[in-house]
Amino acid sequence: MESVQATKQRFGIIGNDPTLNRAIEKAIQVAPTDISVLVTGESGVGKESIPKIIHQLSHRKHGKYIAVNCGAIPEGTIDSELFGHEKGSFTGATATRSGYFEVADGGTIFLDEVGELPLTTQVRLLRVLENGEFIKVGSSKVQKTNVRIVAASNVNMFEAIKKDKFREDLYYRLSTVDIHLPPLRNRKDDIHLLFRKFASDFALKYKMPTIKLDDDAVNVLLKFRWNGNIRQLRNVAEQISVLEQTRVITVETLRQYLPSESSQLPAVISNTKSESDFSSEREILYKVLFDMKSDLKDLKKLTMELMKTGNGSEVQKKNEGLIEKIYGQTDEDMQEAYEDLEVLSIGESNEEDTLDTSPELVPDKYHFAEEIEEEETLSLHDKELELIKKSLERHSGKRKLAAAELGISERTLYRKIKQYDL
């Protein structure tokens, strides 16, 4: 069995962190088997090195090695990419195509960002893991494949399972062996080693002297959080190598290439849902309902005032603001509103005279007003309906003549006819 140190030299892995060494040791141990492996860790920690080690140290090393970024393939084409398709199975399928599982038969497939796979594709992948079978898109023929699957993910798989974004049975099939790579901030002793390696590589690539950090710059380098991990460190080393004329880098120079400290603080994410989580249709419906409720209250208030006091010019002026709010501000709409109220108030004076509002009979004025409003509204509804029916019968259904007799516009009468289904 190849040693950890020899494997690191062979695959260009820099670092002596015990957690990193343990991850490489596990990769060496599982390589001769056909066990499925799940590599976990943050983005940029170098997860792609583990499947290469597993493939090269296995009996499949002479077979194909295919790395697939599942998050970069559109959902509509991922099944075709992985399993292939038949000619004419969908628009644009002008020829039969072999998928990665067919091409890599006898080799290894590395599924990077496996947590981004659609649920339908996860079902197909589970079948491959269980019995090595798959079906091309648009075909009914079952095909066999002998492929070693190594997957990687930077998301919390248990959270994805709880949110129904990843199948639990597929997770346990993939993670027969789980290899975790630590973030760079937990490998303090490796940070400067990696920086020096990158600086040397870029000096050779761009044919210029190698940059070096002074002691204070090294301390800042080690204390930095490195949210982007090795990928971020490599980018910083490349920028400094290309842009700086002075080859000895001070702390002031280094800080120009590092994000501000505030951007390194972890963000606080609320678990509560915001209003934007609800659909826009629901929001619009709620708004319409609340507006209708408010308008109905205003209309009740206006109707009560008219029934109590009459239709004098003083009352009309007093309620002008309410009428504008309910019916709009155009002259035509204002006229229609007054015509509607005129119909509603027919016969109210006689009924109002019959009410006895003496204090002995009305202990609670508020509740009494509500009862009057309800009774009056019901009786006015019946009388209005009766008047419209009689007027239409008298004029043989001619709306224009009936509207003139009732003292309302023809449009208002038409709306009343529709309202009462006459």
Q: What's CA 293's distance to the chain center, in Å?
A: 32
pLDDT surpassing 60 at residue 383: yes
Please, which contacts does 414-418 make with residues 24 or more away whose CB atoms are closer than 8 Å?
Answer: 416/343, 416/384, 416/388, 417/388, 417/392
Helix 49-56 with 18-30: angle, nearest 10 deg: 40
In this prediction, residue 393 has a pLDDT band, given cuts at 50, 70 and 90, of confident
Domain with CATH 3.40.50.300 in the chain: 4-182
Alpha-carbon distances, residue 199 vs 188, 218, 223, 254 (angstroms) = 18, 14, 19, 13
**Whether 413 contacts 402, CB under 8 Å:** yes
SS3 label, residue 38: strand
What φ, ψ does residue 150 adopt, rounded to 5°?
A: -120, 125
The reported pLDDT for the residue numbered 205 is 95
Give the residue from 242, 252, 43, 267 showing the smallest Cα distance to 155: 43
The reported pLDDT for the residue numbered 304 is 65
SS3 label, residue 19: helix
Instruction: Say how far apart CA 313 and CA 82 lie, in whole Å.
Output: 80
Instruction: Say how far apart CA 418 and CA 422 lie, in whole Å.
Output: 7
The reported pLDDT for the residue numbered 102 is 96
Residue 155: partners with Cβ closer than 8 Å, 6 or more residues away: 115
In this prediction, residue 109 has a pLDDT band, given cuts at 50, 70 and 90, of very high
The reported pLDDT for the residue numbered 276 is 46
**Whether 109 contacts 68, CB under 8 Å:** yes
The reported pLDDT for the residue numbered 314 is 55
Domain 4-182 in this protein, CATH class: alpha beta
Residue 44: partners with Cβ closer than 8 Å, 6 or more residues away: 184, 228, 229, 230, 231, 232
Indicate the range of 48-57, 229-238, 387-396 predicted with least confidence.
387-396
Domain with CATH 1.10.8.60 in the chain: 188-264
Higher confidence at residue 352 or residue 147? 147
**Whether 2 contacts 117, CB under 8 Å:** no
Give the residue from 162, 157, 160, 159 showing the smallest Cα distance to 174: 157
Share of the chain above pLDDT 70, in %: 76
The reported pLDDT for the residue numbered 362 is 42
Residues 188-264, CATH architecture: Orthogonal Bundle (1.10)
Enter the DSSP assignment of 147.
-
Task: List b or e across 144-168, with b for residues whose CB sees 16 or more CB atoms inside 10 angstroms.
Answer: ebebbbbbbbbbebeebbeeebbbe
In this prediction, residue 281 has a pLDDT band, given cuts at 50, 70 and 90, of low
Q: Whose structure tokens read 């005279």?
A: 353
Q: Compute the chain's Rg from CA coordinates.
A: 39
Bridge partners, 148 (sequence order): 108
pLDDT surpassing 70 at residue 378: no
What φ, ψ does residue 53 adopt, rounded to 5°?
A: -60, -45
In this prediction, residue 128 has a pLDDT band, given cuts at 50, 70 and 90, of very high
The reported pLDDT for the residue numbered 313 is 55
In this prediction, residue 305 has a pLDDT band, given cuts at 50, 70 and 90, of low
